[in-house]
Structure 1
């Protein structure tokens, strides 16, 4: 594969126990993208991940959608393996993840930065560099004194589940905008909606 491809890594944890949790919203977004583009996830031969290779449109940019088959705190290994395997430059790596510091139902885009206590981002930044693109999917802060680690591993509340498909769709739109138009234009469009 040539280096004009994009790698979109959706963060999450494996297994049915975590499937509907806030921490798995990254997986939900790449699954939405695979459905849009007609891609099917298959186990990767050289990375601890499943991938779906597709295009945004006929003749459009090639995208490798990926989900680690390991746990969140080991996301760096699969990210590094996939970047090397596909020869994707780091300015074409998009990591989609849950973000406590953004209200639920909001999406923010950026390049680089700290990990903010997010173990998946911490591991990717250690394995590669912190200077990759991020689609930050807002899940909001836990209510009251609830522990953040406990909060992210719980399913979305019933009031959130009604809006979750829109949030996932908006996040998938943000990925498409980055791929098709670049980060700056994507930020202007996505952040302008807030």
Structure 2
């Protein structure tokens, strides 16, 4: 019984990880309140969860704030770029939905294809910035390239990220439970699970003499 509740027992490790995810989720949401900071908050979240995936985390709150501040500029720039592009894609789709005939369908399909590339780029963008040092252009380019070159992982990450959103809005009951989970655990939990996959993906592009530093020069 003592070992079951010991500090190194599976139960206590699980509860400790759950507490970490709870704290991270609250930090993430607080830093997302001004919408402009969502990018920096997402990068900070993934900076910590990538370390958690490698069992390297220490001083979690301090690490979150440090990553938030150090990556604020590039994360905010790419977030605003992607936000504007997302709004444009959404508006274009709504406009073309009113078109009739073959041309309207062709335009809608084209927008959906572009939207797919947009989505998979977004899935990789902030984890990439959290792990690699690069400029805005190469961060956007490499996020897209990594997502295409690792398509099986990308599909899995997309399911892990998007499926909970659909499940949340299935019924009024799932919405109530879903909002509770998103508020206290959801964002950080998904980031952590995704980080277990990103760890394997990014390892292929890191130097062989990698010293576990979170700041690596990105591929160009």
The alignment's TM-score, normalised by the length of structure 1, stands at 0.33
Larger Rg: 2
Higher strand share: 1
